Chain A
Amino acid sequence: MKLKSLLVGLGLLAGVGAAQAADDPFKVGFVYVGPVGDLGWSYEHDRGRQELEKYFGDKVETTFVENVPEGADAERVITQLAKSGNDLIFSTSFGFMNPTLKVAKRFPKVTFEHATGYKRSKNMGTYVLRTYEGRYVSGVAAGMLTETNTIGYIGSFPIPEVIRDINSSFMAAKSVNPDVTMKIVWVNSWYDPGKETDAANALMDQGVDVLLQHTDSPAPLIAAEKRGKRAIGQASDQSSFAPTAHVFSVRDDWAPYYIKVTQAVMDGTYEPSDFWGGFQEEMLSLASINDNLPTDVRAKIDETYAKIKSGEFHPFTGPIKDNKGNVVVAEGHTLTDTELAQVNWYVEGITDEIPR
């Protein structure tokens, strides 16, 4: 009896093992900087992951690790994912750049993809959103909506991506409202609802009436709603948090890219590259544009969106001067993707200094 059940057990084990070997799913790992429930950046990456699973069904198996601090911990987590048989690993925050590169060198058979960075190797590519496109439309809306001619920007860390988007927003606001000024506050975190609320209030205390944010929680929208001001949602549709204050959300959609890269690695056609996706690729969109916007603002939003999407307009087309008077983009030149990833100057008219 005992022997029989043991044999049956062994048989089952063997059967399971064989089944797994027969159609071994392609394993994809994801590393998130925030919780998947942040309703912002990490939430959207996870939505991309879920779409990926839905698209490939049984052929792909995904795992994710959330709340991974940028730095040494990230390296450990990425190594663990590589060791546990993942064929493709997406690391989704700027601060994961060096850890990802290090691990990529140690695991040459695994493919790595890092979001928002600029370091690549033969098995590591990068991908990034043209968030400055969304920020340009945000800036246009903010410039038109502000009554105090003061708009506010809640920054996370002074990295090129954020600095570039600050410039994009400010140039946009200036293009529709020459008197506009912008106040910038850094919270030194991607995600801290309490601190983001503090920052939003500090800005509104100083006369800001339209908030833009480069942090991931909906807290600034809630703060704006409470005080009857305006705010623009980040990364994900955040309209439910501020039915009146919400202008629109610039929503990320990573699924098309995740599906494309997974397919390429499975087919063996993958080449690491520096991928940029924006309005055109429909990886960025304007979600829940508020019905309470004045018609001229709404029309200008739609117009700006269409122009950027079609490629007719690029926010970083020269001549552009920095706030020290140097020409940083020559007349007739449009910043290349490589240059866009290295913006380290504030555009003319921003009175602050970039924190070093």
Chain B
Amino acid sequence: MDIDLITQVLFAAIKTGTPLLFIALGEAICEKTGVLNLGQEGMMLMGAVVGFMAAYGTGNAGFGLLGAMLIGMVMSLIFGFLVLHLGANQVATGLALTIFGTGLSAFIGSGVVGQTIAGFQPVYIPVLSDLPVVGKVLFSHDPLVYLAIALALVIAWVANKTRIGLTIKAVGENPNAANAIGIKVLRVRYLAVMFGGAMAGLGGAYMSLVYTPMWVENMTAGRGWIALALVVFASWRIGNIVLGAYLFGLASIMHLVLQGMGWSISPNLLAMLPYVATIVVMVIISADKFKEKLLAPRSLGKPFDPRQMA
């Protein structure tokens, strides 16, 4: 494996990991407040199609991003209303949101199938982009890759160093106690759910504006699920999520690269790695005694009804 190839592979790993990073960051915040939203795939697809249509209609990819975030929030509000307001089961509602988003995105996107847009182009950074190896791997990406990293930094700071972070944590760990000290639990959860929706929309837009600048049905092909596992995998720590996203990115392209090089290792085996990790993690989180070890938010998946508080 020569240095050029390694450079290309690392470059691709970061690109492949970026949509996962967007979604996982949003979902992490959402889960930190105790809400498990399995509707990521549906919100992502809606973000992808609306983002694409907005960018295609206006000729400006920036509007695409905006549209994707907005539709992500709208989708998440539907979810929020059902689980927070009406106390519906989070798992079932999330799954329904995914199915709904998959169908609706195919429906509204049917008119733009087959169209292409320029999408976001890589940015050139003086000096840095020209560096050997590092320049290619780190400094020749499209702006959204940097946006994802910037968002990760901001989110990590907010979650760990600010009052907002503490509020989020309090709501997720013990909503009753948080309520008792005057935190509006449902409001915090609504905001977190909407934030998750906006991020999922961004992740979807990354697919339709940068990764494969087009819209085709079901184009996210399960990335929303991988991102869900990634959050647990990283045990809700933002730093781990960043690392994990790029690692998952690397895992999902590595088997293609090795095949091209003529390795005779079964591609099926390698291709299933990210999914195996996903399943293992999903099994582990559904067992309560592991949850604590993984630092899962204690009220994750449990509804909270302030009216039932004495």
Q: Are the C-beta atoms of A192 and B12 separated by less than 8 Å?
A: no
Decide if B9 touches A39 in the complex (CB within 8 Å).
no
- Across the interface, name the chain A residue whose C-beta is closest to B19: A194
**Residue pair A185, B212 in contact (C-beta under 8 Å):** no
CB-contacts of A55-100 with B (<8 A): 67
Given A194-B211, A206-B261, is A39 in contact with B114 using a C-beta cutoff of 8 Å? yes
- Looking at A193, A195, A217, the one whose CB has the most chain B CB atoms below 10 A away is A193
A-side contacts of B9, CB under 8 Å: 202, 205
Asked if B173 is at the interface of the complex by the 8 Å CB criterion, the answer is no
- CB < 8 Å: which of A193, A205, A240 contacts B219? A193
Say whether B89 faces chain A, with CB atoms less than 8 Å apart.
Answer: no
Q: How far is the CA of A240 from the CA of B213 in the complex (A)?
A: 13
A333 to B4, CA, bound (A): 46
Q: Could you tell me if B114 and A206 are in contact, using CB atoms closer than 8 angstroms?
A: no
Interface centre among B5, B106, B110, B218 (most CB of A within 10 A): B218
- Residues in B with CB closer than 8 Å to A37 are 106, 109-110, 113, 216-217
Interface residue? B132 (CB, 8 A): no
> Across the interface, do B223 and A183 meet the contact criterion of CB distance under 8 Å?
no
Q: What's the nearest-Cβ distance from chain A to residue B184, in Å?
A: 39
A240 near B212: Cβ-Cβ < 8 Å: no
Asked if A186 lies at the interface with its beta carbon under 8 angstroms from chain B, I say: yes
CB contact under 8 A between A195 and B267, given known A35-B216, A205-B5? no
Could you tell me the distance in whole angstroms from the C-beta of A148 to the nearest C-beta in chain B?
13
Interface centre among B110, B218, B260, B264 (most CB of A within 10 A): B260
Interface SS, B side: helix
CA distance A157 to B152 in the complex (A): 37
Q: Interface stretch among A161-169, A267-275, A348-356?
A: A348-356
Task: Report A-chain residues with C-beta under 8 Å of the C-beta of B257.
Answer: 202, 205-206
B116: nearest residue on chain A (CB-CB)?
Answer: A241
Is B162 among interface residues, defined by CB-CB distance under 8 A?
A: no
Give B3 Cβ to nearest chain A Cβ, in Å. Answer: 12
Give which listed residue, B106, B260, B268, contacts A188 with CB less than 8 A: B268
Contact size class for A?
35 or more
Q: Is the CB–CB distance between A355 and B110 below 8 Å?
A: no
- Among B4, B259, B261, residue most surrounded by chain A Cβ atoms (within 10 Å): B259
Residues A184 and B259 in contact, CB atoms below 8 Å apart = yes
Q: Once the chains bind, are B211 and A197 in contact (CB under 8 Å)?
A: yes
At the interface, yes or no: A187 with Cβ under 8 Å from chain B? yes
Q: How far is the CA of A119 from the CA of B286 in the complex (A)?
A: 42
Contact bitstring B106-121, A, C-beta under 8 A = 1, else 0? 1001100111100000
**Chain B residues within 8 Å of A53, by CB:** none
Instruction: Establish whether residues B267 and A188, one from each chain, have CB atoms under 8 Å apart when the complex forms.
Output: yes
A-contact bits for B191-208, CB 8 A (1 contact / 0 none):
000000000000000010
Q: Which residue of B lies closest to A350 (CB)?
A: B262
Tell me the B242-279 residues at the A interface (CB within 8 Å).
252-253, 256-257, 259-262, 264, 266-268, 271
A292 contacts the other chain (CB 8 A): no
Q: Does A51 contact B (CB under 8 A)?
A: no
Asked whether any CB of chain B lies closer than 8 Å to the CB of A152, the reply is yes
Q: How far is the CB of B267 from chain A (nearest CB, A)?
A: 5
A201 to chain B: closest residue by CB: B12
Smallest CB separation, B137 vs chain A (Å): 13
**Is A222's CB within 8 Å of the partner chain B?**
yes
- Given that A188-B267, A206-B261 are known contacts, is A195 also in contact with B252, CB under 8 Å in the complex? yes
Contact among B4, B212, B218 with A222 in the assembled complex (CB-CB below 8 Å): B212
Is the pair B221, A194 in contact by a Cβ cutoff of 8 Å?
yes
Q: A217 to B211, Cβ gap below 8 A?
A: no
- Flag A19-56 by CB within 8 Å of B: 1 or 0 each: 00000000000000001011100000000000000000
Cα of A67 to Cα of B45 in the assembled complex, Å: 15
Interface contact B256-A187, CB-CB below 8 Å: yes
Judge if A175 is at the interface, Cβ distance under 8 Å: no
Which residue of the partner chain A has the closest CB to B5?
A: A205
A39 to B5, CA, bound (A): 32
Q: Could you pull out 24 A-B pairs where Cβ atoms are within 8 angstroms?
A: A35-B217, A37-B217, A38-B217, A183-B259, A183-B262, A185-B260, A188-B267, A188-B268, A189-B221, A193-B212, A195-B256, A198-B253, A205-B12, A208-B260, A217-B219, A219-B212, A222-B212, A223-B212, A240-B115, A351-B262, A352-B259, A353-B264, A355-B268, A356-B266
Which 4 A-B pairs give the minimum distances between C-beta atoms?
Answer: A35-B217, A205-B8, A202-B256, A192-B221
Listed in ascending order, the chain B residues whose CB lies under 8 Å from chain A are 4-5, 8-9, 12, 16, 106, 109-110, 113-116, 207, 211-214, 216-221, 223, 252-253, 256-257, 259-262, 264, 266-268, 271
19 extra interface residue pairs, beta carbon distance < 8 Å, beyond A194-B223, A202-B12: A37-B217, A67-B217, A67-B218, A185-B259, A186-B267, A187-B256, A187-B271, A194-B211, A194-B219, A195-B221, A202-B260, A205-B5, A206-B5, A206-B260, A219-B212, A219-B214, A222-B212, A352-B262, A353-B264
